[in-house]
Chains A and B, each alone.
Chain A
Amino acid sequence: MHPNSSAESMAKITKRLCTLVLRLMAVAATLLAAIVMVTSHQRTSNFGISFEVKYNHTPAFQYFAIANAIATVYGFLVLFLPSESQLWRLVVALDVVITVLLSSSFSAALAIGDVGKHGNSYAGWLPICGQVPKYCDHVKAALISSFVGLIIYLLLLLYAIHTVLDPLLLKKT
């Protein structure tokens, strides 16, 4: 029996637990963002004209919902990967792709949301948040949740480089 096997298995359990907790939080954040975005809709009537806004009126919000859904499904599948599998190296590469997807969708939705909130006087686009405040709050909540998921994925990338790839050769073989 190796004398330090209990210390090694403690380290492995800690590493596994840490990864699991982070990934679970990321799945929860992206799932929440997708659901809140998809259920955001409001209908108001202004001078007898009814004005309805839904998330799928804007392609940026559709892309945001789809990207967060893809990230949720991916994160959920990775949760069940056993700890010793060789696929963890593929997971590092796929994590980069999912982070890129999440960051581009977040930034696109933020840009369109900014036009909705502040308008664009040069292009003659009026802000709509004054007329549909509940919709704007919904979208804001979805954006915040997705941002949390993005930060967690960035942390997971750094953690994956540390544990899976071990660049400073800290592990003894």
Chain B
Amino acid sequence: MARENAQKLEDGTELVPVRKPMDWTIVVLRVVAFLATVSATVVMAINKETKSIVVATVGTTPLSVTLTAKFHHTPANVYFVIANGFASFHNLFMMAVHFFGDHTFKDKGLQLVIVAILDMTNVALLSSGDGAATFMAQLGKKGNSHARWNKICDKFEKFCDHAGGAIIASYIGLLLLLVITVLSIVKLLKRN
């Protein structure tokens, strides 16, 4: 299995590529980061809560209004879902490249550069998605008395809890992706 990739040298000995321990560290971190970002995407995308509020009482029958809170009511949450989707796809792609296609690139340097650049791009994207969703969630939880924006989390508790969970999962994914980026850059350094 490993012998298929072996090269024969002039004196008959064989060079077999060896997987170093840092490669396995990066793969394990990518798997966990993938799980974190996928769960953040899914939990935020299916986040929805419906609530009926009694507005007035006419005689003996109460009039109720049905209010729904969905994730796409806020553009920041939509961007959060998109950014986490991109990040999980990136992690999946990198895992696939590591397991199946590690020897397709003849130029190892180019592969390492592309991996590092893609990692950095996805870190920036994921961090911006997280930042926007965090501050929108803070606005929903505390409101803003100066602008007379009321908080909504006291009425839609489940919605806010799910959104908070998705944001926490995304931060874990961001931290791991940051560590993976630093390790990819270190791999570039070691090559010199």
Contact = CB atoms under 8 A, between A and B. Distances in A.
A167 B109 contact: yes
Given A58-B144, A100-B127, A123-B140, A111 B192 contact: no
A153 to B, nearest CB: 9
Contacts of B146: 52-53, 57
A104 B128 contact: yes
A13 B113 CA distance: 25
Contact of B117 (A97, A104, A106, A161): A161
Given A103-B131, A107-B79, A128-B147, A92 B139 contact: no
A56 to B, nearest CB: 10
A125 B149 contact: yes
Contacts of A105: 131
B8 interface: no
Interface in A76-95: 89, 92-93
Contact of A168 (B110, B127, B131, B149): B110
23 contacts: A53-B146, A59-B135, A93-B182, A97-B178, A103-B127, A103-B128, A104-B127, A104-B131, A107-B128, A107-B129, A111-B76, A111-B135, A114-B76, A115-B136, A123-B140, A125-B150, A154-B124, A161-B188, A165-B188, A165-B189, A167-B188, A168-B113, A169-B192
Residue among A93, A111, A112 with the most chain B CB within 10 A? A111
Interface of B: 69-70, 73-76, 79, 107, 109-110, 112-113, 116-117, 120, 123-125, 127-136, 138-140, 144, 146-150, 152, 174, 178, 181-182, 185, 188-189, 191-192
A54 to B, nearest CB: 8
A171 to B, nearest CB: 9
B131 A123 contact: no
A142 to B, nearest CB: 16
A89 B140 CA distance: 41
Nearest to A61: B135
Contacts of B178: 96-97, 100
Given A103-B127, A125-B149, A165-B185, A63 B110 contact: no
B131 to A, nearest CB: 3
A144 interface: no
Interface residues of A, number: 43
B187 to A, nearest CB: 10
B135 A114 contact: no
User: 9 tightest CB-CB pairs across the interface, nearest first?
Assistant: A104-B131, A107-B128, A111-B76, A111-B132, A122-B73, A108-B131, A57-B146, A60-B135, A108-B135
A145 interface: no
Given A104-B127, A111-B131, 14 more contacts: A60-B139, A97-B178, A99-B124, A103-B124, A108-B135, A111-B76, A111-B79, A111-B132, A112-B139, A125-B147, A167-B113, A167-B116, A167-B188, A167-B191
Contacts of B112: 167
B75 A100 contact: no
Given A96-B182, A120-B74, A115 B113 contact: no
A105 B124 CA distance: 11
A24 to B, nearest CB: 22
A137 interface: no
A21 interface: no
Contacts of B116: 161, 167
